[in-house]
Structure 1
């Protein structure tokens, strides 16, 4: 039963003309006995009803069928019917109640200007009736009638303001939801960009080292089988390391709730630079590491950015600087600043591959450094070779 009534109420709310027509029909049916004099006592002092008086009662009550479609027009019709009935002395039946319904409707569904105009029309009709008929002779009755009308009008205005307030809340909630979705999409795009940079750094570094080791193994395969075996073992170990790092990075993209959780490990940082330098030495690149100043903990983002910068710089040196090149990595801790520099003395391949600056690796390094307010310099060294240098500002001495 509850579901049926709820469905009927919702159906009527979606069809206001139907519900208003039902209200008008019920109001008219309730007013007819009084209009026809059936429920009117002779002591009430009303003259016998006429077809005109009955028609006016019906018109005044039936006008409520248009209360939400044309509320001000319906109010004027009800006011006219009520005024004529009052001036001619016939029973108003429920026409006065219909006027109150229309006063409430105009105040609840139209703006303030129309609402004030409706209230003025009602008071004007009431004053006209009082002046024409001499009123009831009791001032308190007239004041009470005006107060009832004003109260109904204020209730309608309150309903309208509350409806507007709720609509604003819903609109604000929708805007916040759209903003949240936009922020989520932006965060996902940023996360995809970060993962792409991480994947590029991992793949470019390890594949470059593996390529160099494979080339060395091929050259010495017949003349130095033991050396070739060591190079192949290094390739195997490098491949496993690369797969482990890629699994950790790509693991955040897994969306299967029933799948096993992805392995988690700390992001690489400066504490892994000795191992990185040793990898490059094993790949055939003479590499040295200097740490200047007193080492102190860095923000995780800067720590990762510095490590990736060194990794990208050494990888580019291994690719392009030539077989006889040497590389230097300098880490400098200073008050309020941290800097990292990767230099080499290689002549390069002679085609400007190192200085183009358009590869994904260098673009990723620029983004990382800029993200933390750092300054990046990439280009040839004054004495020959190539350098990648970055300075990061540190807050509160960190």
Structure 2
């Protein structure tokens, strides 16, 4: 498994320490063979000695130490620099023995960190100084300048490689962070959707079930004495049950992302549905008045208003047996004011249940507020919503 931030990834998807080790072995062996052959076949010019076996061995050993250049770059740069000085002390022309120290210096800078840079620089400066002091050649300024330029190029190339690797690692880290953020956002969206669906089920089915229970109770009590009224109650139960099943089907269709109508499945009827809500409550024997002033509502605000009134009426018939219920919707500037007042006496504040919490959340999402609780003469639910 490729590690995040592996800055030594190879082309074609090959990564990891095994691949890098193979590259280093191939580099070291190839350089050892090539430099050994050149050292053996290229004749030495006076005042330098012919390399012979010793010279070839020193050159090959210097190149072979590059096998460990990634694992121990500081050690490799010190060893190759020391071998260069020893090679010069033996009277040989520097030739190809200078390349392993430069490669090691490049690796020190590419590895990053202050210590490898300092050790690499110090070792190579010492090697150049040893060459200038012990060489049998002229050691003129132009030769030393060439050596210094090569060393500088090795250091700059190593630093550029380190910077590129750091940029790649940072880019990958950002990509992973963005991916995690997208995953978290998706999880939050799913949680919000589940919460919304739970609220829709509570508001729609809770209201319907309460109406059905109350109507069934009335029908049972008056079945023998007032069969006509009982039949009306049973008709209301049937109608309410069918509507509840329809709303349940709408909620379930939202769970299927391939359904083109899913986005609009949970769209209640807004102001147009309030009259029907009132009729349901009247059917269980409660007096309900609805006062509506002309207001313009967006789809989301209309849905919230409908559900708030629905939950308020459900709570009214669930918690009180009598008393007039008044519903009013009036404009208030760029907002709409919704009041549901249940006339009743002796009410005491109760701990907020899911219904009240859901109403407050709907109002908040529409940029409004909701206040609910006992007041003089009954129980009041007062919501203010942004109209559009």
Query: TM-score normalized by structure 1?
Result: 0.85
Return the offset for 1:134.
6.9
* Structure 1 residue 82: Cα displacement: 0.9
8 Å CA contact 1:247–1:263 kept in 2: the answer is: no
Q: Distance in 2 between matches of 1:178 and 1:72?
A: 38
Deviations 1:294-317 (A, max 9, x none): x33234333222221211111111
- 8 A contact 1:82–1:95 mirrored in 2: yes
**1:26 offset after TM fit, Å?**
2.3
Query: Are residues 1:102 and 2:110 paired?
Result: no
1:92, CA displacement in angstroms? 4.1
Give the equivalent residue in structure 1 for 2:82.
Answer: 80
Shift of 1:173: 0.7
In structure 1, how many angstroms separate the alpha carbons of the residues matched to 2:175 and 2:142?
Answer: 49
| CA distance in 2 between partners of 1:325 and 1:361 (Å) | 21
The whole-number CA distance in structure 2 between the counterparts of 1:223 and 1:390 is 42
Equivalenced residue count is: 378
Q: Which residue is equivalent to 2:310?
A: 311
RMSD of Structure 2 on Structure 1 (CA)? 2.7
Structure 1 residues 295-304 or 240-249, which shifts more? 295-304
Counterpart of 1:242 in structure 2 is: 244
Report deviation, 1:84.
1.7
Match of 1:194 in 2: 196
Q: Any idea what the Cα deviations from partners look like across 1:316-348, whole Å, max 9, x if unmatched? A: 1112221x3210001121214321111121347
Corresponding residue to 1:325 among 310, 323, 326: 323
Write the mapping of 1:138-217 to structure 2, written as runs, cut at 5 A. Answer: 138-217=140-219
Shift of 1:170: 0.3
Residue of structure 2 equivalent to 1:281? 282
- Aligned to 1:391, which of 360, 384, 387? 384
SS in 1 for 2:285: coil
1:346 is aligned to 2:344 = yes
2:25 pairs with one of 15, 21, 29: 21
For residues 124 and 383 of structure 2, the distance between their equivalents in structure 1, rounded to whole angstroms, comes to 80
Q: Which residue number in structure 2 is paired with residue 69 of structure 1?
A: 71
**C-alpha distance in 2 between matches for 1:43 and 1:302:** 95
**For structure 1, which runs of at least 5 residues remain unmatched after alignment?**
1-5
Give the TM-score, by structure 2 length.
0.88
Instruction: Verify the 8 A CA contact 1:377 1:388 in the aligned structure 2.
Output: yes
- SS of the aligned residue for 2:14 comes to helix
Closer, same or farther in 2 for the Cα pair 1:326/1:198, shift >3 Å? Answer: same
SS in 1 for 2:50: coil
